[in-house]
Amino acid sequence: MPAGEAENTYDVTVSGDGYRTFTYHDLSLEQHAKVITIGTKESSFTLGDVNDDGKIDLKDLKLVEAALRTNDSDYDINKDGRVNIVDISIVNRGMIVPVGGKALVQNGAMVASALIGTIDADETDLSGIALSGDTSISDLFVGESTVTVSKADGQKEISEDAPLNIPIVFTEGVAMSEVQIATPAANGIEEFQVIVETEDNGRIVYGSTSRTKTAALLSRSAREADQVIVVNLGTRKVVKKITIQVTKTADNETAVIKQIAFVENTLAKAPEAEAAKPKNVTASPASPVRVYL
């Protein structure tokens, strides 16, 4: 779905076998991608609608009662292989849960166009680095092309004592709890530091050095042959400047970056109660249970 456009809003509908359909209206992607969390505990996505009429009522209860002591999968709500009192209790609970529970909606990664608009071009000093070809600092956030970064001072070698520094200064504080850097799995960034300067004048260093293996911070990207360095800031912070300090790469002369993203909130904690966890739901682009937009 197109992001970064104020006039675009979306209705997101979630459905699944045995669940009362849930719709979230007027979702905006102007500034951030969104993470939508729903669950039966909050009555946003309630289990027990076995006849798929959008309600959980006596009709559903009678259908489950009629199928007791069978293995009819249409009425085996918890999918344990048999229709029993557990399935009846699920319908009973669904009947008393009010319609219209709220989903938890959080800001995910900042949309590239919005992020680029917050970069302070006057204060972001790029004189110490060179970018490949016709690429610019903006290309680091769009993710449509690979950017190769090297030193511009004639000293080619990248090391812990002579790192490659990529500074990013914002015109106003940007809220984030996680920094993600996509880099090729082969010939990418191997060791690094991320220096975060906050609005309250705090300065925190995250990342790896020669004494801490970068691999501990890596997670595999959905993109083939890429890896994503994930730097968890611990808590949500309002950041005025970030410096990505590369201390080791495959050739120790260049750092190859596919994309940099700043995530405001990591995933919300899922409902803890076992009965509150949606199960046996087939997700599609039109009806995901947890939606990444």
If you average pLDDT over residues 264-277, what whole number do you get? 49
CA distance 173 to 240: 5
Task: Give the chain's mean pLDDT.
Answer: 81
Q: How many H-runs (helices) and E-runs (strands) does the chain carry?
A: 4, 16
Residue 6 has pLDDT above 70, yes or no: no
The residue among 29 and 6 whose pLDDT is bigger is 29
CA distance 229 to 19: 37
According to the model, what pLDDT value does residue 289 have? 37
If you average pLDDT over residues 113-123, what whole number do you get? 92
The residue among 137 and 155 whose pLDDT is bigger is 137
- The highest-level CATH class for domain 119-263 is mainly beta
Angle between helices 58-66 and 85-96 (to 10 degrees): 180
If you average pLDDT over residues 49-71, what whole number do you get? 94
CA distance 12 to 63: 29
CA distance 249 to 190: 5
Instruction: Name the burial class of residue 286, with classes exposed (0-12), middle (13-18) and buried (19+) by CB atoms within 10 angstroms of its CB.
Output: exposed
pLDDT in tens, 76-104: 999 999 999 999 999 998 888 777 677 88
Most confident segment among 42-56, 238-252, 272-286:
238-252
Instruction: Name the burial class of residue 40, with classes exposed (0-12), middle (13-18) and buried (19+) by CB atoms within 10 angstroms of its CB.
Output: buried
According to the model, what pLDDT value does residue 253 have? 93
Tokens of 259: 């994309």
According to the model, what pLDDT value does residue 99 have? 72
Please give the model's pTM, rounded to 2 decimal places.
0.71
Going by C-alpha positions, the residue among 91, 65, 66 that lies closest to residue 77 is 91
According to the model, what pLDDT value does residue 285 have? 43
According to the model, what pLDDT value does residue 129 have? 94
**CATH topology assigned to domain 9-107+268-292:** Type 1 dockerin domain (1.10.1330)
| Cβ(249)–Cβ(187) below 8 Å | yes
According to the model, what pLDDT value does residue 29 have? 87
| Cβ(96)–Cβ(57) below 8 Å | no
pLDDT in tens, 246-259: 999 989 999 999 99
If you average pLDDT over residues 19-48, what whole number do you get? 84
Domain residue ranges of the chain, discontinuous segments joined by +: 9-107+268-292, 119-263
Q: Is the dihedral of CA 92, 96, 99, 105 positive or negative?
A: negative
If you average pLDDT over residues 9-18, what whole number do you get? 88
- Stated as kind and residue range, the H or E segment containing 65 is helix 58-66
Angle at 194 between CA 190 and CA 195, to 5 degrees: 150
- 3 state DSSP class of 85: helix
Tokens of 135: 């690429």
| Cβ(13)–Cβ(252) below 8 Å | no
Q: Which value, to the nearest 10 degrees, does the dihedral of the CA atoms of residues 127, 130, 133, 138 take?
A: -60
State the pLDDT confidence band at 57, using cuts at 50, 70 and 90.
very high
- For a pLDDT cut of 90, what percent of the chain falls above it? 47
According to the model, what pLDDT value does residue 103 have? 82
